[in-house]
C-alpha cells in the first residue's frame, strides 16, 4: 500500500554536505571575484585550484561563446576533430606528445579510469596508494583515498595498501608481482601541500618498471602548470605510465583526462563516457592551453610562487612554508587560528585551507607580483598589527 507522506515545507532543499563560507561570488575577472553585495576579493583559492588562467579570461570566454553558437555536445560515437586538436596541443605543451589521451569530465573519473586501465593492462587488482592521499569520491578513487570518514562499506572491496610518502623501505615491502598500480599525487593537495621528494619519485618509478606495475601520477590539482612545470612530477624527471588531470584543464568548465603511455594499447569499448570530450569542453580546454603558452603562465607560476614563499619564510611565523610554483601551503600558528577567516572578512582575500591548520594558496597562474603583494601586506598586518600600524 502506498503511504502518503506529508511534508511541512514542500520546497526541495539541497543535500547539505558542504560547510559554506558566508558570501556568494557572482562575478569574476582575472584573480578577482565579487560577491552579491559588491565586495571585491582577491582570489588565492581559485575555486579549489580550478581557475588556471584567471576568471572569465576574455579569450576563453569568446572561444566558448563561438562554439556555443555552433554545437555544444555530441556523443563519442561520432568523429570530433576538436578532441584531436586538444590531444595534439596538450602533447606539445606538456611534453608528452607520444602519449594518448582519454577524455572525461572530472578528476575522480580520470583516476577511476586510470585504475581500471592499469588493471586491464596488468591483469592484477592490488593498488598501492599513500598516507594522506586524496584522489576523489567515486568507488575506486575514494578507496585509494586515505580518509576512512568518506569511505563507505561499499567502497571497501578494493585491494589497497597505504604506505607513508617518501618511505622507500615501506614502499618496497608493499610492492609485489600482484600490484597493478601505484598511484600518488604530484603534490599532495587536500592533505595540506606535501611535495614528494625527487629521489622517492625516481625510486618508485624504477621499482614499478621492474615489477611491471603501472605508475599513475594524479596531477588533478598539481598539474596544468601550477607547480611551474606542466606536471609536478616533471621536476623529478620521471615518466609515469598514466597521468590524470582535471581542475585547471578547463578553467572552470568540467573536463578531465588520462594521458596514457603508448605501450598500453586500447581495445574497442575498454573505456567510455557520455560527456567526456564534448565540443564545448574541448574548446574550453584548448583555449586554456593556448593562454598558458601565450602568456607564459608556467614561468609566472614559478616566479610569483617563489616570491610568495620567500616573503612568507622571511616573516618567520611558520617554519613550514612549502610547495612548488603557485601551489603553496603553510601551517598556521595557534595564536593565528582565525587567520583564514580574518583574511576573508578583514582583508577580502580568499584562500584555501587544509584541516586542521593549513592555509593553501591555489591562485590563478596569472597572479601578478602586485596582487601577491596585497596578500603579503595583509599577512604582515595580521601577524604584527602593531608594527604595521
Ligand atoms: C589530487 C586530486 N585528485 C582527484 C580529485 C578529485 O577531483 P574531482 O573533484 O574533479 O572529482 C581532487 C579534488 O580535489 C584532487 O585534489
pLDDT 10s digits, 14-68: 999 999 998 899 999 999 999 999 999 999 999 999 999 999 999 999 999 999 9
Residue nearest to atom 8 of ligand 1 (CA): 107
112 lines ligand 1 (CB under 6 A): no
Ligand 1 lined by 189 (C-beta under 6 Å): yes
- Say yes or no: CB of residue 252 within 6 Å of ligand 1: no
pLDDT value of position 22 = 87
Q: What is the pLDDT of residue 49?
A: 98
Q: What's this model's pTM, rounded to 2 decimal places?
A: 0.96
Residue 202: per-residue pLDDT: 98
132: how many CB neighbours lie within 10 A of its CB? 18
136 lines ligand 1 (CB under 6 A): yes
Nearest CA to ligand 1 atom 13: 136
Q: Is the pLDDT of residue 5 over 80?
A: no
Ligand 1 neighbourhood includes 107 CB (under 6 angstroms): yes
In the chain, the percentage of residues whose pLDDT exceeds 90 is 92
CA of 220 to the centre of ligand 1 (A): 6
Q: Name which residue sits closest to atom 7 of ligand 1, judged by CA.
A: 107
**CA 173 to centroid of ligand 1, rounded, Å:** 28
pLDDT, the chain, mean: 96
- How far is Cα 21 from Cα 381, in angstroms, rounded to an integer? 23
**Distance in Å, CA 193 to ligand 1 centroid:** 14
Residue 388 has pLDDT above 60, yes or no: no
**What is the per-residue pLDDT for 318?**
84
Q: Is the CB of 254 under 6 A from ligand 1?
A: no
DSSP line for 10-66: -S------SPPPS--EEEEEBTEEEETTS-EEEESSHHHHT-SS-BT-HHHHHHHHH
Does the C-beta of 246 come closer than 6 Å to ligand 1?
yes
Q: 110 CA distance to ligand 1 centroid (A)?
A: 9
Return the pLDDT at 387. Answer: 57
Q: Which pLDDT does position 1 carry in this prediction? A: 43
Instruction: Give residue 32's pLDDT.
Output: 98
pLDDT in tens, 155-214: 889 999 999 999 999 999 999 999 999 999 999 999 999 999 999 999 999 999 999 999
Give the per-residue pLDDT at 6.
Answer: 56
CB contact burial 234-264 (16+ within 10 A = b; e otherwise): bbbebebbbbbbbbbbbbbbbbbbbbbbeeb
> For ligand 1, what atom is nearest to the CA of residue 106?
10
* Other CB atoms within 10 A of residue 351 CB: 19
Q: Is the beta carbon of 135 within 6 A of some atom in ligand 1?
A: yes
pLDDT at residue 384, as a whole number: 81
Å from CA of 60 to ligand 1 middle: 23
Residue 108 scores a pLDDT above 80:
yes
Nearest CA residue ID for atom 16, ligand 1: 221
Give the C-alpha separation, 226 to 248, whole Å. Answer: 8
**Is any atom of ligand 1 closer than 6 Å to the C-beta of 134?**
yes
Instruction: Look at residue 10 in the predicted model and tell me its pLDDT.
Output: 77
When pLDDT is cut at 50, 70 and 90, the band that residue 251 belongs to is: very high
Q: How does pLDDT run across 325-359, given as a tens digit for each residue? A: 999 999 999 989 999 999 999 999 999 999 899 99
Q: Kindly give the distance from the C-alpha atom of residue 79 to the centroid of ligand 1, in angstroms, as a whole number.
A: 29
Atom of ligand 1 nearest to the CA of 136: 6
Amino acid at each position: 500500500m502506498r503511504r502518503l507522506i506529508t511534508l511541512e515545507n514542500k520546497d526541495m532543499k539541497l543535500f547539505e554536505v558542504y560547510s559554506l563560507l558566508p558570501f556568494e561570488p557572482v562575478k569574476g575577472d582575472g584573480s578577482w571575484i565579487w560577491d552579491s553585495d559588491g565586495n571585491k576579493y582577491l582570489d588565492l583559492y581559485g575555486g579549489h585550484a580550478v581557475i588556471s588562467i584567471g576568471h572569465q579570461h576574455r579569450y576563453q570566454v569568446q572561444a566558448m561563446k563561438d562554439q556555443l553558437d555552433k554545437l555544444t555536445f555530441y556523443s563519442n560515437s561520432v568523429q570530433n576533430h576538436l578532441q584531436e586538436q586538444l590531444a595534439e596541443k596538450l602533447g606539445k605543451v606538456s611534453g608528452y606528445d607520444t602519449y594518448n589521451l582519454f577524455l572525461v569530465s572530472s578528476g575522480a573519473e580520470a583516476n577511476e579510469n586510470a585504475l581500471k586501465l592499469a588493471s586491464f593492462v596488468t591483469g592484477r587488482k592490488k593498488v598501492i596508494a599513500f598516507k594522506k592521499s586524496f584522489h576523489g569520491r567515486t568507488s575506486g578513487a575514494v578507496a585509494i583515498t586515505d580518509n576512512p570518514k568518506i569511505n563507505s562499506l561499499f567502497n571497501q572491496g578494493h585491494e589497497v595498501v597505504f604506505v607513508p610518502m617518501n618511505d622507500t623501505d615501506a614502499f618496497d615491502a608493499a610492492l609485489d608481482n600482484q600490484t597493478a598500480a601505484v598511484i600518488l599525487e604530484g603534490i599532495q593537495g587536500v592533505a595540506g601541500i606535501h611535495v614528494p621528494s625527487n629521489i622517492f619519485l625516481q625510486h618508485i618509478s624504477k621499482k614499478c618498471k621492474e615489477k611491471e606495475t603501472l605508475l599513475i601520477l594524479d596531477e588533478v590539482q598539481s598539474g596544468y602548470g601550477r607547480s611551474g612545470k606542466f606536471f609536478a612530477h616533471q621536476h623529478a624527471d620521471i615518466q609515469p605510465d598514466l597521468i590524470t588531470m582535471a581542475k585547471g584543464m578547463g578553467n572552470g568548465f568540467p573536463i578531465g583526462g588520462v594521458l596514457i603511455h603508448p605501450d598500453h594499447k586500447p581495445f574497442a569499448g575498454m573505456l567510455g563516457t557520455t560527456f567526456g570530450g564534448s565540443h564545448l569542453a574541448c574548446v574550453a580546454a584548448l583555449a586554456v592551453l593556448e593562454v598558458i603558452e601565450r602568456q607564459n603562465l608556467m614561468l609566472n607560476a614559478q616566479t610569483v610562487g617563489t616570491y610568495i614563499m620567500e616573503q612568507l619564510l622571511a616573516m618567520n611565523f611558520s617554519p613550514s612554508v612549502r610547495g612548488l610554483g603557485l601551489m603553496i601551503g603553510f601551517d598556521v600558528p595557534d595564536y593565528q587560528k582565525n587567520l583564514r577567516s580574518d583574511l576573508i572578512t578583514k582583508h577580502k582575500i580568499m584562500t584555501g585551507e587544509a584541516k586542521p591548520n593549513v592555509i593553501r594558496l591555489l591562485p590563478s597562474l596569472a597572479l601578478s607580483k602586485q596582487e601577491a603583494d596585497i596578500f603579503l601586506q595583509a599577512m604582515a598586518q595580521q601577524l604584527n598589527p602593531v608594527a604595521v600600524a
